[in-house]
Amino acid sequence: AGTRFPAAGVAGVHPVHDTQIKRVRHLNFFQHECFLEVRTPRVKLPDGRVVQVEPEWFGKLAGFTLLFEALVLAMARQMTFAAVAKLVGLSWHRVHAICSRYVDLALAEADLSTVTAVAIDETSCRRGHNYLTIAADMDERKVVFVTEGKDAKTITHFAEYLAEHKAMPEQVRSVSIDMSPAFIKGVARQLPNARITFDKFHVVAHASAAVDQTRRIEQRTDPSLKGLRWKLLKDRDRLTDEGRADLDALIAQVATKRTPRAWLYRENLRDILERKQINVVSAMLKQWCTNVLRSKVEPMKDVARMIRRHFDGIVAWTQTRQTNGFIEALNGLFQAAKRKARGYTRFATMRTVLFLIAGKLDFTRINPQAA
């Protein structure tokens, strides 16, 4: 209304006190960087305060337009901050600041009221024993929570986070985790209605480690086992013809060698966990444990004892078919990105990156241009 303008949070329009020149970065004009110099008013409120009034198209971070910030967000979802910074002519820190601001604003409005099935896993964030824990909504296939550490407290933080975002810990009905005692303890305490599922692929991975350990022990007295490590660990169908022939020759010696026995135990375990009838899986898994514990394949006995300790959660795989594969695929993408860019060792940066690439955040409520 001429020389009167509205102010956020204050009713009515208010007279101009003075104006200030603001310089903001906009989308490039052809190949040239484009800056807009805008005379913005400061208005005087009824209580005597003087406040700045900015155009609606100013960005959420000082010095940019909404369109420019939308461009940075779109690029940052596909490439590292360093690559984005080079393309748009900003510092790494400014690109990170834009992305971090939008992630924080979007998460503040996050609605987790429909989350019922969750996968929880940890990933390394820098060298040494430094980890962060990620929780994903398995129905929506998106990251919903990231925190530092990998102990039971991380599950406590997740339960608190749910309560802060229109959800309750009691609504979570299924949780897929690895066999970390800390995660098991945390889920039991904080997510009381959640049925724990131990990812089948984690169970088979333990069996594969036992196969390799058996080979290393037996190799000390049997040099013929040298060079067979990857042939034993890979799926048989993925081996070359020569590799399959070598593996078959080893399996034929099952009566005299423990390594082929360990391999057969692993393959049998894999077949059992692929079945869909829970009573069949339960009976076969119990028999598998009995057979292994009666054998002389010591490393595989540890796997059998582990299965007995976590029997219900492993059998639950039959019904839920819930895995941490989504998080582990995300972990691979993230570790690759981390190797390419500096600055990914700080928790705040890693959290921002994880939500950008896998949080499926809706930025349009914050910036209509960020579609």
CATH code for the domain of 156: 3.30.420.10
Domain end, chosen from 278, 296, 320, is at 320
Same domain for 244 and 295, yes or no, is yes
- Do 175 and 240 lie in one domain? The reply is no
Using one digit for the tens of pLDDT, what is the confidence trace for 332-341?
Answer: 777 666 665 5
Q: Which of 25, 34, 87 is nearest to 61 (CA)?
A: 25
Domain closes at, from 198, 232, 265: 198
Could you tell me if residue 337 is inside a domain?
A: no
Specify the number of domains making up the chain.
Answer: 3
DSSP type of residue 327: H
Considering the domain boundaries, does residue 213 fall inside one?
A: yes
Residues 251 and 147 in one domain: no
Alpha-carbon gap, residue 262 to 207, rounded angstroms: 8
Tell me: do 233 and 166 sit in the same domain: no
pLDDT band, very low/low/confident/very high, at 38 (cuts 50, 70, 90)? very high
pLDDT tens per residue, range 125-143 = 766 668 889 999 999 999 9
Q: Confirm whether 42 is domain-assigned.
A: yes
pLDDT band at 357, cuts 50/70/90? confident
Considering the domain architecture, whether residues 184 and 225 belong to the same structural domain is answered as no
- What's the CA gap between 210 and 261, in Å, rounded? 11
Helix pair 92-108, 347-358: axis angle to 10 deg = 70
Kindly state whether residues 175 and 257 are assigned to the same domain: no
Query: Same domain for 129 and 183?
Result: yes
Parent domain of 300: 200-320
- With both helix axes pointing from N to C terminus, report the angle between 200-219 and 298-309 in degrees, rounded to the nearest 10: 160
**pLDDT beyond 80 at 330:** no
**SS3 of 57, please?**
coil
Q: Categorise residue 365: left if φ over 0, alpha if ψ from -120 to 50, beta otherwise.
A: alpha
16 occurs within a structural domain: yes
